[in-house]
Structure 1
Amino acid sequence: MSIELGQSVPDFSASATGDTTVTLSQLRGKQVVIYFYPKASTPGCTTEGGDFRDNKNAFDTANTVILGVSRDGLRAQENFKTKQDFNFALISDKDETLCTLFDVIKLKKMYGKEHLGIERSTFLIDADGNLANEWRGVKVPGHVAEVLTAAQALHASRS
Protein backbone atom coordinates (compact mmCIF):
# COMPACT_ATOMS: atom_id res chain seq x y z
CA MET A 1 0.00 0.00 0.00
CA SER A 2 1.54 3.26 -1.02
CA ILE A 3 0.25 6.77 -0.54
CA GLU A 4 -1.42 8.38 -3.53
CA LEU A 5 -1.03 12.04 -4.50
CA GLY A 6 -3.58 14.18 -2.65
CA GLN A 7 -4.00 11.59 0.12
CA SER A 8 -3.22 12.23 3.75
CA VAL A 9 0.16 10.82 4.78
CA PRO A 10 -0.25 8.55 7.84
CA ASP A 11 1.38 9.96 10.96
CA PHE A 12 4.75 8.49 11.92
CA SER A 13 7.50 8.95 14.47
CA ALA A 14 11.09 8.11 13.64
CA SER A 15 14.50 8.33 15.32
CA ALA A 16 16.63 11.12 13.89
CA THR A 17 20.02 12.74 14.30
CA GLY A 18 20.67 14.94 17.31
CA ASP A 19 18.99 12.37 19.57
CA THR A 20 15.58 13.55 18.38
CA THR A 21 12.36 11.94 17.24
CA VAL A 22 10.59 13.33 14.20
CA THR A 23 6.78 13.07 14.33
CA LEU A 24 4.95 14.09 11.17
CA SER A 25 1.84 15.42 12.98
CA GLN A 26 4.06 17.83 14.96
CA LEU A 27 5.10 19.43 11.65
CA ARG A 28 1.51 20.34 10.62
CA GLY A 29 1.39 23.89 9.33
CA LYS A 30 4.70 23.40 7.56
CA GLN A 31 5.43 21.71 4.26
CA VAL A 32 7.74 18.70 4.53
CA VAL A 33 10.23 17.33 2.01
CA ILE A 34 11.17 13.73 2.77
CA TYR A 35 13.95 12.44 0.58
CA PHE A 36 15.08 8.82 0.61
CA TYR A 37 18.65 7.96 -0.32
CA PRO A 38 20.36 4.56 -0.62
CA LYS A 39 23.36 4.95 1.71
CA ALA A 40 25.02 7.59 3.86
CA SER A 41 28.44 8.87 2.80
CA THR A 42 28.25 7.60 -0.79
CA PRO A 43 28.94 10.02 -3.67
CA GLY A 44 25.40 10.52 -5.04
CA CYS A 45 23.87 10.75 -1.57
CA THR A 46 26.53 13.24 -0.47
CA THR A 47 25.86 15.43 -3.53
CA GLU A 48 22.08 15.29 -3.06
CA GLY A 49 22.33 16.11 0.67
CA GLY A 50 24.71 18.95 -0.10
CA ASP A 51 22.24 20.41 -2.60
CA PHE A 52 19.48 20.34 0.05
CA ARG A 53 21.90 21.87 2.62
CA ASP A 54 22.89 24.66 0.24
CA ASN A 55 19.24 25.51 -0.49
CA LYS A 56 17.93 25.23 3.07
CA ASN A 57 17.32 28.98 3.47
CA ALA A 58 15.13 28.99 0.35
CA PHE A 59 13.21 25.96 1.67
CA ASP A 60 12.81 27.75 5.03
CA THR A 61 11.40 30.79 3.22
CA ALA A 62 8.89 28.45 1.53
CA ASN A 63 7.84 27.14 4.99
CA THR A 64 9.35 23.73 4.17
CA VAL A 65 11.18 21.30 6.48
CA ILE A 66 13.76 18.94 4.93
CA LEU A 67 14.17 15.36 6.19
CA GLY A 68 16.62 12.82 4.77
CA VAL A 69 15.94 9.09 5.24
CA SER A 70 18.01 5.95 4.70
CA ARG A 71 18.32 2.51 6.29
CA ASP A 72 21.64 3.46 7.89
CA GLY A 73 21.88 3.35 11.68
CA LEU A 74 21.85 6.52 13.75
CA ARG A 75 25.61 6.55 14.23
CA ALA A 76 26.21 6.42 10.47
CA GLN A 77 23.60 9.17 10.01
CA GLU A 78 25.20 11.35 12.72
CA ASN A 79 28.65 10.93 11.12
CA PHE A 80 27.25 11.74 7.66
CA LYS A 81 25.41 14.81 8.94
CA THR A 82 28.45 16.10 10.86
CA LYS A 83 30.97 15.45 8.10
CA GLN A 84 28.79 17.14 5.45
CA ASP A 85 27.56 19.91 7.76
CA PHE A 86 23.92 19.12 6.94
CA ASN A 87 21.53 21.64 8.51
CA PHE A 88 18.50 19.31 8.65
CA ALA A 89 17.62 16.03 10.36
CA LEU A 90 18.53 12.62 8.98
CA ILE A 91 16.23 9.74 9.92
CA SER A 92 17.42 6.20 10.56
CA ASP A 93 14.90 3.76 9.09
CA LYS A 94 16.63 0.47 9.87
CA ASP A 95 13.31 -1.38 10.22
CA GLU A 96 12.12 0.10 6.88
CA THR A 97 8.88 1.50 8.34
CA LEU A 98 9.08 4.72 6.31
CA CYS A 99 10.59 2.96 3.29
CA THR A 100 7.55 0.66 3.27
CA LEU A 101 5.08 3.50 3.88
CA PHE A 102 6.42 5.39 0.86
CA ASP A 103 7.11 2.21 -1.17
CA VAL A 104 10.75 3.02 -1.98
CA ILE A 105 12.32 -0.45 -1.52
CA LYS A 106 12.95 -1.81 -5.02
CA LEU A 107 14.85 -4.67 -6.60
CA LYS A 108 18.13 -3.18 -7.81
CA LYS A 109 21.10 -4.57 -9.71
CA MET A 110 24.68 -3.90 -8.72
CA TYR A 111 27.65 -5.68 -10.29
CA GLY A 112 25.26 -8.18 -11.85
CA LYS A 113 23.70 -9.15 -8.52
CA GLU A 114 20.14 -8.32 -7.51
CA HIS A 115 19.37 -6.91 -4.08
CA LEU A 116 16.62 -4.92 -2.41
CA GLY A 117 17.55 -1.30 -1.84
CA ILE A 118 16.17 2.21 -1.59
CA GLU A 119 15.17 3.79 -4.88
CA ARG A 120 16.24 7.44 -4.62
CA SER A 121 12.89 9.20 -4.15
CA THR A 122 11.56 12.49 -2.81
CA PHE A 123 8.12 13.40 -1.47
CA LEU A 124 6.58 16.81 -0.80
CA ILE A 125 3.88 16.90 1.87
CA ASP A 126 1.68 19.99 2.12
CA ALA A 127 1.02 21.94 5.32
CA ASP A 128 -2.16 19.90 5.91
CA GLY A 129 -0.27 16.59 5.79
CA ASN A 130 -1.30 15.52 2.28
CA LEU A 131 1.07 14.16 -0.36
CA ALA A 132 1.43 17.04 -2.84
CA ASN A 133 4.21 15.76 -5.10
CA GLU A 134 6.55 12.81 -5.58
CA TRP A 135 9.69 12.10 -7.54
CA ARG A 136 10.80 8.47 -7.97
CA GLY A 137 13.94 7.07 -9.55
CA VAL A 138 15.60 10.43 -8.97
CA LYS A 139 18.73 11.53 -10.80
CA VAL A 140 20.69 13.88 -8.52
CA PRO A 141 21.74 16.73 -10.88
CA GLY A 142 19.08 19.46 -10.85
CA HIS A 143 16.74 17.47 -8.59
CA VAL A 144 16.83 19.74 -5.53
CA ALA A 145 16.12 22.81 -7.67
CA GLU A 146 13.03 21.04 -9.05
CA VAL A 147 11.83 20.14 -5.53
CA LEU A 148 12.45 23.71 -4.33
CA THR A 149 10.42 25.14 -7.24
CA ALA A 150 7.52 22.82 -6.36
CA ALA A 151 7.75 23.72 -2.64
CA GLN A 152 7.79 27.45 -3.44
CA ALA A 153 4.79 27.12 -5.80
CA LEU A 154 2.84 25.13 -3.21
CA HIS A 155 3.63 27.67 -0.49
CA ALA A 156 2.68 30.59 -2.76
CA SER A 157 -0.66 28.96 -3.57
CA ARG A 158 -1.54 28.99 0.15
CA SER A 159 -0.36 32.51 0.93
Structure 2
Amino acid sequence: MSIEIGQPVPDFSASATGDTTVTLAELRGKQVVIYFYPKASTPGCTTQGGDFRDRKTAFDEANTVILGVSRDGLRAQENFKAKQDFNFALISDKDETLCTLFDVIKLKKMYGKEHLGIERSTFLIDAEGRLAKAWRGVKVPGHVEEVLAAAQALSTGQ
Protein backbone atom coordinates (compact mmCIF):
# COMPACT_ATOMS: atom_id res chain seq x y z
CA MET A 1 0.00 0.00 0.00
CA SER A 2 1.60 3.25 -1.02
CA ILE A 3 0.38 6.82 -0.98
CA GLU A 4 -0.95 8.10 -4.30
CA ILE A 5 -0.25 11.54 -5.76
CA GLY A 6 -2.79 14.02 -4.40
CA GLN A 7 -3.55 11.96 -1.29
CA PRO A 8 -2.80 13.23 2.23
CA VAL A 9 0.36 11.74 3.71
CA PRO A 10 -0.44 10.17 7.10
CA ASP A 11 1.12 12.06 9.99
CA PHE A 12 4.27 10.55 11.44
CA SER A 13 6.87 11.26 14.11
CA ALA A 14 10.44 10.10 13.68
CA SER A 15 13.74 10.42 15.55
CA ALA A 16 16.16 12.69 13.77
CA THR A 17 19.65 14.12 14.15
CA GLY A 18 20.26 16.84 16.71
CA ASP A 19 18.23 14.91 19.28
CA THR A 20 15.01 16.05 17.61
CA THR A 21 11.74 14.46 16.60
CA VAL A 22 10.32 15.31 13.19
CA THR A 23 6.53 15.36 13.03
CA LEU A 24 4.87 15.88 9.65
CA ALA A 25 1.91 17.78 11.17
CA GLU A 26 4.33 20.35 12.64
CA LEU A 27 5.64 21.06 9.13
CA ARG A 28 2.22 22.08 7.73
CA GLY A 29 2.48 25.29 5.78
CA LYS A 30 5.82 24.21 4.37
CA GLN A 31 6.55 21.83 1.51
CA VAL A 32 8.57 18.79 2.52
CA VAL A 33 11.08 16.78 0.51
CA ILE A 34 11.64 13.35 2.03
CA TYR A 35 14.41 11.42 0.34
CA PHE A 36 15.21 7.80 1.17
CA TYR A 37 18.74 6.52 0.70
CA PRO A 38 20.17 3.01 1.23
CA LYS A 39 23.04 3.63 3.66
CA ALA A 40 24.81 6.53 5.36
CA SER A 41 28.39 7.30 4.33
CA THR A 42 28.30 5.34 1.06
CA PRO A 43 29.39 7.07 -2.17
CA GLY A 44 26.00 7.55 -3.89
CA CYS A 45 24.29 8.59 -0.67
CA THR A 46 27.08 11.05 0.13
CA THR A 47 26.80 12.62 -3.35
CA GLN A 48 23.02 12.83 -3.11
CA GLY A 49 23.11 14.40 0.35
CA GLY A 50 25.75 16.86 -0.80
CA ASP A 51 23.57 17.88 -3.75
CA PHE A 52 20.69 18.64 -1.35
CA ARG A 53 23.08 20.44 1.04
CA ASP A 54 24.48 22.62 -1.74
CA ARG A 55 20.98 23.69 -2.87
CA LYS A 56 19.38 24.12 0.56
CA THR A 57 19.09 27.91 0.22
CA ALA A 58 17.09 27.49 -2.99
CA PHE A 59 14.84 24.92 -1.26
CA ASP A 60 14.38 27.35 1.65
CA GLU A 61 13.36 30.07 -0.82
CA ALA A 62 10.78 27.61 -2.22
CA ASN A 63 9.35 27.12 1.33
CA THR A 64 10.62 23.53 1.32
CA VAL A 65 12.12 21.49 4.17
CA ILE A 66 14.57 18.67 3.30
CA LEU A 67 14.58 15.40 5.27
CA GLY A 68 16.90 12.46 4.55
CA VAL A 69 15.85 8.98 5.70
CA SER A 70 17.65 5.64 5.97
CA ARG A 71 17.55 2.59 8.23
CA ASP A 72 20.84 3.59 9.86
CA GLY A 73 20.86 4.25 13.60
CA LEU A 74 20.97 7.78 14.97
CA ARG A 75 24.69 7.61 15.75
CA ALA A 76 25.50 6.70 12.13
CA GLN A 77 23.17 9.48 10.92
CA GLU A 78 24.79 12.03 13.28
CA ASN A 79 28.28 11.04 12.06
CA PHE A 80 27.18 11.18 8.41
CA LYS A 81 25.58 14.60 8.89
CA ALA A 82 28.58 16.03 10.75
CA LYS A 83 31.19 14.61 8.37
CA GLN A 84 29.35 15.90 5.28
CA ASP A 85 28.23 19.17 6.90
CA PHE A 86 24.60 18.50 5.97
CA ASN A 87 22.35 21.46 6.82
CA PHE A 88 19.12 19.45 7.17
CA ALA A 89 17.84 16.68 9.44
CA LEU A 90 18.52 13.00 8.85
CA ILE A 91 15.94 10.54 10.17
CA SER A 92 16.76 7.14 11.61
CA ASP A 93 14.10 4.66 10.46
CA LYS A 94 15.47 1.47 12.02
CA ASP A 95 11.97 0.05 12.51
CA GLU A 96 11.12 0.88 8.85
CA THR A 97 7.95 2.84 9.74
CA LEU A 98 8.59 5.52 7.12
CA CYS A 99 10.06 3.03 4.65
CA THR A 100 6.83 1.04 4.89
CA LEU A 101 4.61 4.13 4.72
CA PHE A 102 6.28 5.21 1.47
CA ASP A 103 6.77 1.64 0.19
CA VAL A 104 10.50 1.94 -0.50
CA ILE A 105 11.72 -1.45 0.76
CA LYS A 106 12.40 -3.54 -2.32
CA LEU A 107 14.13 -6.80 -3.17
CA LYS A 108 17.58 -5.87 -4.43
CA LYS A 109 20.49 -7.84 -5.82
CA MET A 110 24.08 -7.22 -4.85
CA TYR A 111 26.94 -9.48 -5.84
CA GLY A 112 24.41 -12.11 -6.93
CA LYS A 113 22.66 -12.22 -3.55
CA GLU A 114 19.15 -10.94 -2.95
CA HIS A 115 18.30 -8.80 0.05
CA LEU A 116 15.64 -6.30 1.10
CA GLY A 117 16.86 -2.73 0.98
CA ILE A 118 15.81 0.84 0.41
CA GLU A 119 15.10 1.78 -3.17
CA ARG A 120 16.51 5.30 -3.56
CA SER A 121 13.33 7.39 -3.69
CA THR A 122 12.24 11.00 -3.17
CA PHE A 123 8.82 12.42 -2.30
CA LEU A 124 7.55 16.00 -2.43
CA ILE A 125 4.72 16.83 -0.03
CA ASP A 126 2.77 20.05 -0.52
CA ALA A 127 2.14 22.64 2.21
CA GLU A 128 -1.25 21.04 3.00
CA GLY A 129 0.37 17.64 3.58
CA ARG A 130 -0.60 15.93 0.31
CA LEU A 131 1.81 13.95 -1.83
CA ALA A 132 2.62 16.18 -4.80
CA LYS A 133 5.31 14.15 -6.59
CA ALA A 134 7.20 10.88 -6.25
CA TRP A 135 10.47 9.71 -7.77
CA ARG A 136 11.35 6.02 -7.40
CA GLY A 137 14.47 4.14 -8.47
CA VAL A 138 16.34 7.43 -8.45
CA LYS A 139 19.69 7.90 -10.16
CA VAL A 140 21.73 10.51 -8.27
CA PRO A 141 23.16 12.70 -11.10
CA GLY A 142 20.78 15.59 -11.85
CA HIS A 143 18.10 14.34 -9.46
CA VAL A 144 18.23 17.15 -6.89
CA GLU A 145 17.88 19.78 -9.64
CA GLU A 146 14.70 18.01 -10.80
CA VAL A 147 13.30 17.92 -7.25
CA LEU A 148 14.18 21.59 -6.73
CA ALA A 149 12.43 22.58 -9.98
CA ALA A 150 9.30 20.68 -8.86
CA ALA A 151 9.41 22.33 -5.40
CA GLN A 152 9.81 25.78 -6.95
CA ALA A 153 6.94 25.20 -9.39
CA LEU A 154 4.72 23.93 -6.55
CA SER A 155 5.55 26.91 -4.30
CA THR A 156 4.65 29.41 -7.03
CA GLY A 157 1.51 27.52 -7.99
CA GLN A 158 2.70 26.58 -11.48
TM-score range, shorter chain: over 0.9
- Equivalence for 1:129: 129
- Equivalence for 1:37: 37
Structural mapping, 1:4-153, within 5 Å: 4-153=4-153
Q: Name the amino acid aligned to 2:102.
A: F
Question: % of aligned pairs identical?
Answer: 88
Q: Name the amino acid aligned to 1:20.
A: T
* Root-mean-square deviation over aligned CA pairs: 0.6
Tell me the alpha carbon deviations over residues 39-98 of structure 1, each in whole angstroms, 9 at most, x when there is no partner. Answer: 000000000000000000000000000000000000000000000000000000000000
- Give distance in 2, aligned partners of 1:5 and 1:63: 20
- Give distance in 1, aligned partners of 2:153 and 2:81: 28
- Residue 100 of structure 1 aligns to a residue whose secondary structure is helix
- Residue 95 of structure 1 aligns to a residue whose secondary structure is coil
- Give distance in 1, aligned partners of 2:61 and 2:99: 28
- Residue 140 of structure 2 aligns to a residue whose secondary structure is coil
- Give distance in 1, aligned partners of 2:26 and 2:143: 27
Unaligned runs of 5+ in 1: none
Following superposition, the deviation at residue 118 of structure 1 comes to: 0.0
Aligned length: 158
- Give distance in 2, aligned partners of 1:150 and 1:5: 14
- Give distance in 2, aligned partners of 1:82 and 1:20: 15
- Give distance in 1, aligned partners of 2:2 and 2:119: 14
Tell me the alpha carbon deviations over residues 16-40 of structure 1, each in whole angstroms, 9 at most, x when there is no partner. Answer: 0000000000000000000000000
Q: Name the amino acid aligned to 2:123.
A: F
Tell me the alpha carbon deviations over residues 104-150 of structure 1, each in whole angstroms, 9 at most, x when there is no partner. Answer: 00000000000000000000000000000000000000000000000
- Give distance in 2, aligned partners of 1:64 and 1:57: 10
Q: Name the amino acid aligned to 2:105.
A: I
- Equivalence for 2:3: 3
